[in-house]
Chain A
Amino acid sequence: MKFPLLPDQASLGAGEVDRLMLLLLGVTVFFLLVTAGPILVFCFRYRRGNRVNRVLDPRGGFRLELTWTLIPLTIALGLFGASAAVYFRQRHPPEDAIEIHVIGRQWMWKVQHPQGKREINELHLPAGVPIKLLMTSQDVIHSFFIPAFRMKQDVLPGWLTTQWFVPTKTGSFPLFCAEYCGTDHSRMVGHVTVMPRPEYVQWLTTGVQEESPALAGERRFRQLGCSGCHVGQSAVRAPALNGVFGSVVPLQGGRTVIADERYLRDSILLPNKEIVDGYAPMMPSYQGQISEEELLALVAYLKSLGAGSAGNAPGVAAPVFAPASRQEGGAP
């Protein structure tokens, strides 16, 4: 029977987390020795009946208290700093990361690559390339957990969450759902397969070819009638959407918000939550009419709209806002 001690280290970040863990383990062992050691020694030496010197120092122990408060405090602050640095890197994906969509539902994971290829309970990845997962759930909270990458992130219904990593080791690694989600929670498992980059490209082009999310999103955009208000000449004033993703949007009431994936998604489902300044609350909600996949596709389409694309007739419904430099607007 095998008993592994450490999971595979299959991503750039995995090594960092393991080193941090090693540091913490060292601190743990140190403090255990520093307490268990003296306790054991005292239990032997000062056993009742042993004739030893028990005369106590009458001076108070204030300096001792101060010492063993400040030293752990310093160590704790140091540990916080070390972990905060790693955590900061974990939460800031690079701009050129490949975006893969993940949708969790009871009790399976649905994955879609940017070219369109879909998988269920499997995730094929190229080695050496930053990958960003854009994730949501169709029903309850799940959690996408890849131990070999030391990464997990909850997926929530109605929300977009992200996580990112750079796979470094080829092979097949377990994938688990890590938030209890119902009867078959323990069956919501799968594999992450990391392959060299050329193989990944080849894998993408084999098998059933599907529409890319962005194309599917454009199709839906027209089908649902969004272009009726948001594109070209229209009787209804609606904000133009060229370059909207990543731009700074002024809202009614003076606030501004960065148009990230969450904002785009909320604008479709809850259009009166954050109304753009200068526009009337006229957009109907599409709640209940669009599935999670279609929402992700629409968001992918909107992200693909650079400034000046998608046919905006000059002089009509000009963008109220200027697109800021395209920042990483990842969900929290």
Chain B
Amino acid sequence: MNDPGTRSGGGAEGMEPLHSHFASREQQREATTLGMWLFLATEILFFGALFLAYAYVRWSFPAVVQQASRHLELVMGTINTGVLLTSSFAMAVGVLFAEQGRHRAAAKALAATALMGVAFLMIKGSEYAAVIHEGFLPGFTANLEPVSRPGGGYAGLLSEGGGPVPGQEELFFWLYFVMTGIHAIHVAIGVGMLTLLAWWMRKPHPASRASLNTVRNAGLYWHFVDLVWVFLFPLLYLAGHRFQP
């Protein structure tokens, strides 16, 4: 292997290994932090395309979006929002503990964050189940063949006489599943990352992989994921719940 390996830190706590191509630990830290920020910028573009598709659907069919949004599980969504915001608090606390050198406390805070992430996913799972049970899973065909379609839509979705045209609610629900689904994947990745970090930090003298910088970067990622939800929630769940005098 050509990588000559890394140099371990001295006895000080939280010293991550210094990879040989970096001149100093400070350079390494700055590079990894900047790398995380840049990665989050790409994520903004990634989600941005979905938000653009949402904006298009919302602009084209405002009434339909309002109506379809009312079929989402608002209570579960609100609870989830609370869970995720609290998890961000726990993450921030974890970073604070890590800065103070209290590694076991930090590990507990990170574990709590991960647990709340799991709770988020479980609530989301049951939310999906509820929405699917009511028949709003768009276009599910048994054998996933591409459907060629000379002009029909799908039956069975809000197609009362005189109501919205079959097809447009599907756009909304499809957006709902794709946007929250991709977000959930990001949450799951975050949960995995935080669990690993918490494991590494559980000893008083932590394994050198779980440095303060790593914890901070994980925090950046987690807060970003939370922030995406803060935008998703009102756009998807609150679109139909305007209080009119």
Contact = CB atoms under 8 A, between A and B. Distances in A.
B64 A287 contact: no
A74 B161 CA distance: 60
**A interface bracket (residues with beta carbon within 8 Å of B):** 10 to 19
Contacts of A171: none
16 contacts: A253-B62, A269-B165, A270-B165, A270-B168, A272-B163, A273-B61, A281-B63, A281-B163, A282-B162, A283-B162, A284-B162, A285-B165, A287-B165, A287-B167, A288-B152, A288-B153
Interface in A174-224: none
Interface string A256-275: 00000000000001111101
B29 to A, nearest CB: 40
B162 A287 contact: no
Contacts of B60: 273
Interface in A204-250: none
Interface residues of B, number: 15
Contacts of A273: 60-61
Contacts of B164: 272
Nearest to B167: A287
Contacts of B62: 253
B151 interface: yes
A284 B161 contact: yes
A284 B63 CA distance: 15
Contact of A272 (B151, B152, B161, B165): B165
Contact of A287 (B61, B63, B153, B163): B153
A282 B64 CA distance: 14
Nearest to B153: A287
B240 to A, nearest CB: 15
Contacts of B151: 287-288
Contacts of A281: 63, 162-163
A287 B165 CA distance: 8
Contacts of B163: 272, 281
B63 A272 contact: yes
Nearest to A291: B151
Name the 6 nearest CB pairs between A and B, nearest first: A288-B151, A285-B165, A282-B162, A288-B152, A272-B164, A270-B165
